[in-house]
Amino acid sequence: MPESIDAPRLSLTSSEMRRLADHVVALVIERFDTKSDSPIGKRPTKAELEGLFAEPLPAKGDDPMRLIDQAVEQAFGNTIRVDHARYFAFVPAPNHFVGAMADALCAGFNAFAGTWMVGAGAAQVELTVMEWLRQIVGMPDGAGGLLVSGGSMANLTALVAAREAVLGEDFGHGAVYLSDQTHSSAIRALKVAGFAQRQIRVLPSDKSFRLPFSALQAAVSEDRAAGLCPFCAILNAGTTNTGAVDDFETIVPWARSEGLWIHADAAYGGLAAVSPNQKPKLAGLGEVDSMAIDPHKWLYAPIECGGVLMRDFSLLKRAFKILPDYLLDKERDAGEVDFCDHGIQLSRSFRAFKVWLMLKTFGVEAFAESVDHNVRLAEVAGERLVAKGFELAAPPSLGIVAFWHPEADSAAHRRAVDRLIEDGFAMASSTQLKGRTALRMCTLSPLATKEDVEQTVDKLAQFVLASRSH
């Protein structure tokens, strides 16, 4: 056999590794040190990036230090900083340094969290983390779940488990109910899971942007009368548009008596329950059958980190477990949890580690204080907005405020978003509410200050008025 079989391949020495790692660490620390000071980032057009990175498959190698610098400038440098203290658009992603270091360790160790056989220690940590998350959102003892990539996968995982548990293989007669404020990932999840458009009832929200109980009751009765099987309602704990929270306390007990599965999309708002001051706003949430949560939102974990919680944990396995011959080795003891049997992924990274490390490093009280700060900042924004002549679409809720200026048209609102990006100080985004264009701020960053929020409002006021068509 050829000599070369044991020659080093793709190899780096310890000192090359050290040099590369030091460079990455310096870049990451600089990134964290500039979360409040740097410009918000760039939104280049396709034409501006055309040609960048467009090259043939490289035959030979290059210096990774130089390549990283190129990427920091041309790839990362051509994005908007979702981790910035004044990124108030969409839903911010204010990752914490401790979580980032946890991800770095997992990538370096290539931790595998799919089976107990290979990743027992990782599974044990995930069990602990899911138990903590269960307690935070107030689900009953015995509820459980797993971590996934984010809210989209959490909604999909829960809704497939619900479909299997309630309807089984033939689900063409099932109907699902949700308000027009529900996140698009829930509708996409239903499509992926094979539901036809005619099975998905999107109900108009009320003036508080909540699912109207009476409309839900009426739709369910109507469908039953038509021979359909109403099987699931999706409620929101913190809508993306306005932070609205559906009326869990009223709807869940009724739904249970009707045999309806209640899934909560709590990806945005659920983990606000870590604060005793916010938990009452989510009253009744813990009683749902399944829930999507997102530690990469309010626990400040780096993306990706979502979670699914099920009132009956065993339903995940019922929906997802398939045991092929080549995995028979892993089957030993029913008490050993193979998380790959409870969701869609087989190869799974050890997401629980970052959540564990952050909660252990700071304790829940620090997170509670930070969540209260985030919620208060949206109220601060609301006060300033009113002072600047804006109208609020609804009272600020769970760190989100939506608003419009009565003297400016839709186009002016949308142009203000662009102007804010060009200005570089901050970012906000727009949406449609009751047929009207609104601006939104989501004050999720622990680093954002009262001044950050107020100055952003002032700039928005300036840009909205300056952008009016004359």
Residues 124-183 interacting with a copy of itself (rule: CB under 8 A): 124-125, 127-128, 131-132, 135-136, 149-153, 156, 160, 163, 169-172, 183
Residue 4 or residue 469: which is nearer to a copy of itself going by CB? 4
CB of 152 to a copy of itself, least distance (A): 5
CB of 253 to a copy of itself, least distance (A): 27
Number of residues binding to a copy of itself, judged by CB under 8 A: 174
Q: Interaction with a copy of itself in 353-372: which residues (CB under 8 A)?
A: 353, 356-357, 359-367, 369-370
Residue 425 sits in the site that holds a copy of itself (CB under 8 A): no
Residue 455 sits in the site that holds a copy of itself (CB under 8 A): no
Residue 6 sits in the site that holds a copy of itself (CB under 8 A): yes
Residue 154 or residue 264: which is nearer to a copy of itself going by CB? 154
Q: What is the 3-state secondary structure (H, E, C) of the chain?
A: CCHHHHCCCCCCCHHHHHHHHHHHHHHHHHHHHCCCCCCCECCCCHHHHCCCCCCCCCCCCCCHHHHHHHHHHHCHHHCECCCCCCECCCCCCCCCHHHHHHHHHHHHHCCCCCCHHHHHHHHHHHHHHHHHHHHHHCCCCCCEEEEECCHHHHHHHHHHHHHHHHCCCCCCCEEEEEECCCCHHHHHHHHHCCCCHHHEEEECCCCCCCCCHHHHHHHHHHHHHCCCEEEEEEEEECCCCCCCECCHHHHHHHHHHCCCEEEEECCCCHHHHHCCCCHHHHCCHHHCCEEEECHHHHCCCCCCCEEEEECCCHHHHHHHCCCCHHHHHHCCCCCCCCHHHCCCCCCCCCCHHHHHHHHHHHHHHHHHHHHHHHHHHHHHHHHHHHHCCCEECCCCECCEEEEECCCCCHHHHHHHHHHHHHHCCCECEEEEECCEEEEEEECCCCCCCHHHHHHHHHHHHHHHHHCCCC
Residue 100 sits in the site that holds a copy of itself (CB under 8 A): yes
Residue 411 sits in the site that holds a copy of itself (CB under 8 A): no
Binding pattern for the stretch 235-274 against a copy of itself, x by CB under 8 A and - elsewhere: -----xx---------------------------------
Alpha carbons 122 and 111: distance in angstroms, whole number: 8
Q: Interaction with a copy of itself in 12-51: which residues (CB under 8 A)?
A: 12, 14, 17-18, 20-22, 24-25, 27-29, 31-33, 42-47, 49
Residue 316 sits in the site that holds a copy of itself (CB under 8 A): no
Contact 15, 23 (CB under 8 A): no
CB of 413 to a copy of itself, least distance (A): 10
Residue 278 sits in the site that holds a copy of itself (CB under 8 A): no
Residue 183 or residue 311: which is nearer to a copy of itself going by CB? 183
Residue 57 sits in the site that holds a copy of itself (CB under 8 A): yes
CB of 31 to a copy of itself, least distance (A): 5
Residue 213 or residue 362: which is nearer to a copy of itself going by CB? 362
Angle subtended by helix axes 97-109 and 14-33, to nearest 10: 160
Residue 252 or residue 463: which is nearer to a copy of itself going by CB? 463
Q: Taking contact as CB under 8 A, which single stretch among the options 204-212, 229-237, 315-323, 387-395 is the one that binds a copy of itself?
A: 315-323
CB of 182 to a copy of itself, least distance (A): 9
Residue 108 sits in the site that holds a copy of itself (CB under 8 A): yes
Residue 99 or residue 255: which is nearer to a copy of itself going by CB? 99
Q: Which amino acid is at 307?
A: G
CB of 216 to a copy of itself, least distance (A): 21
β-bridge pairing 261-265 and 429-433: unpaired
Which residue in 61, 227, 280, 406 binds a copy of itself (CB under 8 A)?
Answer: 61
Which residue in 38, 217, 345, 455 binds a copy of itself (CB under 8 A)?
Answer: 345
Residue 282 sits in the site that holds a copy of itself (CB under 8 A): no
Q: Interaction with a copy of itself in 196-235: which residues (CB under 8 A)?
A: 196-198
Residue 107 or residue 387: which is nearer to a copy of itself going by CB? 107
Q: Which distant-in-sequence residues (6+ apart) come within 8 Å of 425 by Cβ?
A: 39, 40, 86, 455, 456, 459
Residue 440 sits in the site that holds a copy of itself (CB under 8 A): yes
My answer on whether omega of the bond before 304 falls inside 30° of 0, hence cis, is: yes
Residue 220 or residue 433: which is nearer to a copy of itself going by CB? 433
